[in-house]
Amino acid sequence: MPLVAHNDLPTFERLAQEGTRVLPRDSALQQDIRELHVGLLNMMPDAALAATERQFFRLVGESNPIAQFYMHPFTLPEIARGPEARAHVERYYEPFERLREEGLDALIVTGANVAGTELADQVFWQPLIEVIDWALDNVTSTFCSCLATHAVLQFRYGQKRSRQPGKIWGVFPHRVVDKRHPLVNDVNTRFDVPHSRWNAVTREQFDAAGLRVLVESETVGVHLATSADGLRVVFSQGHPEYDTVSLLKEYKREVLLYADGARDDYPPFPDHYFGSREQALLGEYRLRLQRALEAGAGPPPFPEPQLGGRLDNTWHDTAEAVVGNWMGLVYQVTHRDRRMPFMDGVDPDNPLGL
């Protein structure tokens, strides 16, 4: 069933315009279909706040036909916001205190911008621990994206991420390595996943923490893993939620940082993302940019419109399938009272019977 537009968050209208099925609240209340309430702890910076909403809302809304999905975005007040983003949060986001009281069936935790190298020094560190500790005791399953995976691996399992020699950036092939797990049921055994990170937690660290690795890459390591019980926590080091143009927008941002003198080197292409024609077009832009900078002029318009429609998306279908499996598992083992996460007869230490 569709997402339920239970408030006037603009993301619902935007997704409906894109073709995602969104059900008005009044219509949803007339249907005798079970609800699933999914929290989204959105820690992304201002520029990516609304896009991250859409990406995860879309994945959940398109994933599974068995329930009505109520999405509950919230953030951490300790994260600094500009006026526009702060107004958006105050208008459309929910306080964690209310969600903690009312309960959630599932929780998604995004990445965040980091200042410095130590995660434990970030302003969101202690508030994030509070949310995760609550979720592990009260929410059926928590999906951790990229930096959230690194944070939970550190404060729950004692496994610190390590800085890589170069940025892991692009679209990389992965293989399913645990075909028995229902999260990867009916998923292609080989598929692509976007990544965008400077740090990594290795396969050896996942193994040392007693976690189940489901999907990994020969070149960029583990993508998907779960807690030992198979469901309580789902870890992702990649970004399966990314739009087709997400890496293009990241590349554009880095190019403009170079143009402004905020980075010394011209950014390399994300791996396995731009085709030869797109690389040629971007190479021409680099020459025009260099000439403009040498002449003391501003940068020419970045050719985003010419590039956006030429890029391939080789990951969304699999991401949708994995999230669909996740929502199906949450549906199966969650108690109808969200303050009682597991149904009678389900072992909370092994809810999937693995």
Active site residues: 146, 239, 241
- Tell me the DSSP string of 161-193: -EEEEEEEEEEEEEEES-TTSGGGTT--SEEEE
From residue 81, how far is each of 44, 47, 76, 85 by CA, in Å?
Answer: 10, 10, 10, 6
Residue 36: its H or E element: strand 35-43
- Tell me the DSSP string of 225-270: EE-TTSSSEEEESS-TT--TTHHHHHHHHHHHHHHTTSSSSPPPPP
From residue 179, how far is each of 164, 216, 322 by CA, in Å?
Answer: 29, 12, 12
Cα(96)–Cα(110) distance, integer angstroms: 15
- Tell me the DSSP string of 95-158: -HHHHHHH--SEEEEEEE--SSS-GGGSTTHHHHHHHHHHHHHH-SEEEEETHHHHHHHHHHH-
* Structure token digits, residue 296: 């003391």
Task: Give phi and psi for 266, each to the nearest 5.
Answer: -75, 135
- Could you give the 3-state DSSP secondary structure of residue 342? strand
Cα(45)–Cα(55) distance, integer angstroms: 15
Nearest to 140 by CA among 236, 36, 63: 36
- Could you give the 3-state DSSP secondary structure of residue 50? helix
Cα(322)–Cα(220) distance, integer angstroms: 20
208 secondary structure, DSSP code: H
Nearest to 226 by CA among 330, 315, 130, 99: 330
Tokens 């400077």 found at:
198
